[in-house]
Amino acid sequence: MAYNKHNAFNDLPDLPPTDFVESPEILRHLAKAARHIGELNGLCASLPDTQLLINTIVLQESKDSSAIENIVTTQDELYKAVSEDGTASLAAKEVLNYREALYVGLEKMQAQKNLLLTNTMVEVVQTIKQNKSGIRTTAGTALKNAINGEVIYTPPCCEDVLREKLAALEQFINDPEMSSLDPLVKMAIIHYQFEAIHPFADGNGRTGRIVNALYLVQQELLLQPVLYLSSYIVKYKTEYYQLLRGVTEKNNWHDWIMYILTALIETAQLTTKKIRSMLLLKEEIEKKMKDVLGVSFSYDLLRLMFALPYLKIELLEKKGIAHRQTASTWLKKLADSDIVRPQKMGRTTYYVNWRLMKLLGED
Ligand SMILES: Nc1ncnc2c1ncn2[C@@H]1O[C@H](COP(=O)(O)OP(=O)(O)OP(=O)(O)O)[C@@H](O)[C@H]1O
Ligand SMILES: [Mg+2]
């Protein structure tokens, strides 16, 4: 039957795409993407304090991936929320849920022999949404243009069909015998397929983008889920939507794959640059702190400044880094030498690692 965007797309073909061959242009992009991802991965592996800077990248990805859904939070608001329990804005909370979902997914995958299964995807969406939502059981889900309400795409229906299609996708993801395509090309087509199945009532975009990161870890292209792809998608969002449609309506895998490979190239480079800049900044701040604090220099404090750039006295106490009096003396000294900048919010004074905040805001 001819494709009709108003009817549930139960004819969505399983992967791999038939008749698809990697063009010379794709192969050139692939080589470049693989090189830059390799460089990023090597850098991550060599970090002296692995989790510290990686967590920051994961948080940035969480922020941008949520922004695609118009959950927009400022960098400041987000980092205040990370430091403080319970006072986060709704948007900041959603970003933190996204980050949690990524780690939940990673743990689950690793606990299940490194297989990326439907049940992991369900757990990811439940963590994003903080509810018990599962595979769609009823008809009526359609993707609509946010401005004029026009239907753009109607995904398959209902639960049985969705489960079948997910099982086929699961097999494609986990069985290397199914296709000899390069894993980066596979990531692109898996992302399309997941979005086209659209198994959940909401959260499909975010879950699908988490699946991308998990897949690269599964394939050992990345040791850590430092895929910062969403910064590119936010920038070229219209193309993201158009190219997904292009696959459905015109079988245009080529342009979709080129888009994802370009995103990988750009964001791997950007991430490498960000991590290098953060490393340099950490060294620079360490030196300054040693000058200012002398023998009382604390590596834990330096670490905390990078994990939670909005510091406050109570936080140092809570983390067991210093008693109130010492914490207060340290932060004042650091503020006097402009290593941190005090910022009053209501009754609380934050001491902001402003150089880190500035760096995170740069492209
Ligand atoms: N024409 C299309 N065909 C298939 N999938 C699409 C199409 N247009 C958009 N999508 C996908 O659907 C996602 C939106 O679905 P949904 O609202 O369930 O996800 P979300 O995570 O809540 O939102 P968002 O992805 O906007 O953050 C988009 O991010 C995109 O990945
Ligand atoms: Mg949504």
User: Do 256 and 124 sit in the same domain of this protein?
Assistant: yes
For residue 52, give its domain range.
24-274
Quick one: pLDDT at residue 138?
86
Residue 77 has pLDDT above 80, yes or no: yes
Domain annotation covers residue 113: yes
Q: Total structural domains in the chain?
A: 2
What's the mean pLDDT in 173-190?
Answer: 97
Alpha helices, DSSP H, located in 69-111: 75-83, 90-111
Which residues have beta carbons under 5 A from ligand 2 (an ion)?
A: 69, 202
Condensed to tens digits (0 to 9), the pLDDT of residues 348-359 reads 899 999 999 999
* Domain stops at, among 274, 308, 336: 274
| Residue 331 belongs to domain with CATH number | 1.10.10.10
Q: Whose CA is nearest to atom 13 of ligand 1?
A: 205
Q: Are residues 236 and 327 in the same domain?
A: no
Is 116 part of a structural domain of the chain? yes
Do residues 35 and 72 both lie within one domain? Answer: yes
Domain assignment present for 18:
no
Residue 287 domain flag: no
- pTM exceeds 0.85 for this model: yes
Q: Which of 190, 189, 233 is nearest to 211 (CA)?
A: 190
Angle at 82 between CA 79 and CA 87, to 5 degrees: 100
Classify residue 343: in a domain, yes or no.
yes
| 235: CATH | 1.10.3290.10
How far apart are alpha carbons 338 and 90 in whole angstroms?
32
Is there a single domain that holds both residue 84 and residue 206? yes
What are the pocket residues of ligand 1 if the criterion is a CB atom closer than 6 Å to any ligand atom?
Answer: 68-69, 143, 152-153, 195-196, 202-206, 208, 241, 244-245, 248
Same-domain check for residues 240 and 348: no
Best of 72, 143, 192, 245 for a ligand 1 pocket test (most atoms within 8 Å of beta carbon): 143
Nearest CA, atom 27, ligand 1:
69
**Residue 363: is its pLDDT beyond 80?**
no
In Å, how far are 16, 228, 240 from 64, measured between CA atoms? 29, 8, 14
